A and B are shown apart, each in its own frame.
Chain A
Amino acid sequence: MHAAPLVALVGNPNAGKSALFNALTGARQKVGNYPGVTVERHAGRFVLDDGRPVELVDLPGAYSLEPSSPDERVTRDVVTGAGDYERLPDALLVVVDAANLDNHLRFAMQLIALGLPVVVALNMVDLAERDGLTLDAGVLARELGVPVIPTVAVRKRGLDELRAALTGAVGGGGVKLLRPSDGSIDDDIVTLQRRARALSAAATVSETAGRRWSHALDAVALHPVLGPLLLLALLFVMFQAVFSWSEAPVGWIENGFAAIEGRVAGAMPDGWLRSLLTDGVIAGVGAVVVFLPQILILFFFILILEQTGYMVRAAFLMDRLMAHVGLSGRAFIPLLSSFACAVPGIMSTRTIEDEKDRLTTILIAPLMTCSARLPVYTIVIGAFIPATKVGGVIGLQGLVLFGLYVMGILGAFVAALVLRRTVTKGESSGFMMEMPKYQWPRLADVVLGLRSRAAVFLKRAGTTIALTTIVLWALLSFPQAPKDGGVSQVDYSIAGRIANGLEVAVRPIGFNRDIALALIPAMAAREVAVAAIGTVYAIDDTESGRGQGAMIRQLQSRWTLPTALAFLMWFVFAPQCISTIAVTRRETNGWKWPLFMVGYLFAAAYVMAGITYWLALAAGL
């Protein structure tokens, strides 16, 4: 039996491909990965007019069939039937931006020349009209020799006509053979481009200047003075919101976990199982899930900035600064995402064409203060930095937190500067980007994006983090210390004995045994450090109660200020995140770079924490 016919959605970046894909397939879509490459595969289904189901796959946006990034390579290989990412499509649905035919028609012509049945979606005709551009789809269809359907994907206009055209294009099943390659793929871009321009001119009925509201917005967003100020203001609002908006939901989650813990504790007899569930699993997972609101708020802003088209403007504004350290404005987008989490940040470096540039960005991405560090920072700052005001306005605690973010950014810049002169030495990369028109963000797409982030985070909290806290709990609880031996349970446990050994290595930078203990499970994920410290102290001292207040009291009685500061500095640099290391291995195709990354970051963490500790001691803190 034959599978459903395959239709591939192809087009330039910014042609509105994804919007059309969502409009055609609705909720029936799957996001996966192409084998061997870290390119996302979006596939969905819809039904043709004659009742046949069709599989639609949304290929990465490309400018031509000559790939210059892994994404574009997948697109080229699928439409030419090379590689084994996908079977040869039965038809291509080529999306072009009606307002940018000059450029998009060239790629469309290249695709049509491949010989597969093609339907062209002349997308975003409404925006083109608003721009004062009237087009004749009939002329285009005649000249291109394929159906051309005007559409407005975001408003679901033209979809019926598109389905009808595809019903005709997707013939009697069976995969068609490509026309023997006559070198048309290698056709000179310039020649094709000229033909595209001529065709675009022929199809243009009228063209006036129209309302160029994108240009009006850019007059502010890209203004030499106002632009950077606006960017700073946006970043400020974003980080402010991460903290202020999250207060209430964080409270709900804390109360929820406290309630669950109380329920479990009340329903079970005292014993090791109850201790495992309350001290290990619930306390550990709860300490991490609390940060879900902050992560979602951060991603909310990043998704909005991306969808509106502002992110490219930010890259434009940042290019000069990034050029100073040998990077380009393009690196700004992955680095900003890394403030939420380095994993999607590192994955989004795929849009950077220059290999050295991309590698450098990957290597410094973990230095951006990700949301997993927040639990650690929040607790330690809460315990050691007084909540006083500096100059009567700025909170000292907030200032220290801001300082930690700045340390990360400075560290990243210094690292980039050094890396670009040593291991990733090479020609300075360029910066050339199409700036898409501004668009209203689509709520449905934002919700979809947030939902998948939340799922990934909760899965991590539920598996990796739960597991490491259980293991740590076990290592801490066994063997049981004798009741009257005068030796604490932590010291007597397996974990305590390991940590006592490790302590020798970290004592010079001011770390004590408890910290050494917390650093081991925190290799899995930074936020586990908090859960681990919580577990250590919950086991050692059962009368002081639960929650952040109790943990803060514990920290104050056991750590000195220089130790706390060194601990904060350690987490600015330390690459304690299995997911980041794994994604770096995947994105760089091997162990060389992730190992290098781990090595240089641990070295930096050790040195910087040490310097902080000794400076703090010298200053008499």
Chain B
Amino acid sequence: MDMSRRVIPALSLETLPRRHHATVAAIDWAQLAAPEARRLRELGFDEGVDVEVLHRATLGRGPIACRIGRMTVALRRAVAGAIHVQLDALPAK
């Protein structure tokens, strides 16, 4: 295994712990279907936007409810996984 190319696993909206403020670092648009990508843009997802995971549905692999700006949006984990985020600071509370 080439150790030098190993990168620190980046945090995505899927893996971001609940109630931690984070900033969208990059969105992997290519990973998303076109209508999905457009809806995501329309809901305001963009680099530099402040996000936070509020809830994860049902044990298992249900969708995620996250706060973006002052709005709450539900999305599936696959989409959340395409949204790379950077942890802001300490836990929100």
Q: Which residues of A contact B (CB under 8 A)?
A: 63-64, 66, 68, 99-100, 102-103, 106, 131, 133, 189-190, 193-194, 197, 214-215, 218-219, 222-225, 227-228, 312, 315-317, 319-320, 323, 329, 353-354, 427, 430-435
Contact = CB atoms under 8 A, between A and B. Distances in A.
Contact of B56 (A106, A193, A224): A224
Contacts, number: 117
B42 interface: yes
A431 B71 contact: no
Contacts of A329: 63, 74
Interface of A is mostly: helix
Contact of B55 (A218, A228, A315, A319): A218
B52 to A, nearest CB: 10
Contact of B54 (A106, A218, A427): A218
A225 B54 CA distance: 15
Interface residues of B, number: 33
B70 A99 contact: yes
Given A63-B39, A102-B69, A427 B57 contact: no
Contacts of A315: 74
Given A224-B59, A319-B63, A431-B63, A66 B73 contact: no
B60 A218 contact: no
Contacts of A100: 69-71
A103 B71 contact: yes
Contacts of B49: 197
Q: Name, among B41, B56, B58, the residue most crowded by chain A CB atoms within 10 Å (CB to CB).
A: B58
A227 B33 CA distance: 30
B35 A68 contact: yes
Contacts of B65: 218, 222, 316, 435
A2 B56 CA distance: 55
A68 B38 contact: yes
Given A106-B42, A427-B33, 12 more contacts: A99-B70, A100-B69, A102-B70, A106-B44, A193-B44, A315-B74, A316-B74, A329-B74, A430-B79, A431-B63, A432-B75, A435-B65
B76 A435 contact: no
B35 A218 contact: no
A219 B72 CA distance: 13
Interface string B50-93: 00001111111111010001111111101100000000000000
A133 B71 CA distance: 13
B76 A319 contact: yes
A193 B36 contact: no
Contacts of A223: 55
The 7 A-B residue pairs whose C-beta atoms are closest, nearest first, are: A320-B62, A222-B55, A102-B69, A435-B72, A63-B42, A189-B41, A103-B44
12 contacts: A63-B42, A68-B35, A102-B69, A103-B44, A189-B38, A197-B69, A224-B58, A317-B58, A353-B39, A431-B75, A432-B43, A435-B74
Contact of B76 (A102, A354, A432): A432
A133 B70 CA distance: 10
B57 A103 contact: no
Given A227-B57, A228-B58, A432 B74 contact: yes
A316 B41 CA distance: 20
B61 A320 contact: yes
Contacts of B60: 320
Q: Which of A68, A102, A214, A219 has the most CB of B within 10 A?
A: A102
Contacts of A102: 44, 69-71
A193 B40 CA distance: 12
**Residue from A225, A316, A329 having most chain B Cβ neighbours under 10 A:** A316
Q: Most chain-A Cβ atoms within 10 A of its Cβ — which of B35, B60, B63, B73? A: B63
A102 B46 CA distance: 12
Contacts of B79: 430, 432
B72 A218 contact: yes
Most interface-central of A64, A99, A434 (chain B CB within 10 A): A434
B77 to A, nearest CB: 10
Contacts of B33: 427, 430
B59 A131 contact: no
Contact of B36 (A194, A227, A228, A432): A432
Nearest to B63: A319
Contact of B39 (A214, A312, A432): A432
Given A103-B71, A435-B73, A215 B46 contact: no
A167 B49 CA distance: 38
Contacts of A106: 42, 44
B42 A189 contact: yes
A415 to B, nearest CB: 23
Contact of A214 (B35, B41, B43, B72): B72
Contacts of A432: 36, 39-40, 43, 73-76, 79
Contacts of A433: 73-74
B55 A434 contact: no
A395 to B, nearest CB: 31
B46 A320 contact: no
A432 B70 CA distance: 16
A250 to B, nearest CB: 38
Contacts of B46: 190, 193-194
B18 to A, nearest CB: 11
A222 B42 contact: no
Interface string B8-36: 00000000000000000000000001011
B80 to A, nearest CB: 10
A508 B12 CA distance: 59
B35 to A, nearest CB: 6
Contacts of B44: 102-103, 106, 193, 197
B55 A320 contact: no
Interface centre among B59, B71, B72, by most chain A C-beta atoms within 10 angstroms, is B72
A227 B60 CA distance: 14
Given A103-B71, A214-B72, A320-B63, A222 B35 contact: no
A19 to B, nearest CB: 18
Given A218-B54, A320-B62, A431 B74 contact: yes
Nearest to A62: B42
Contacts of A316: 57, 62-63, 65, 74
Nearest to B78: A430
B58 A434 contact: no
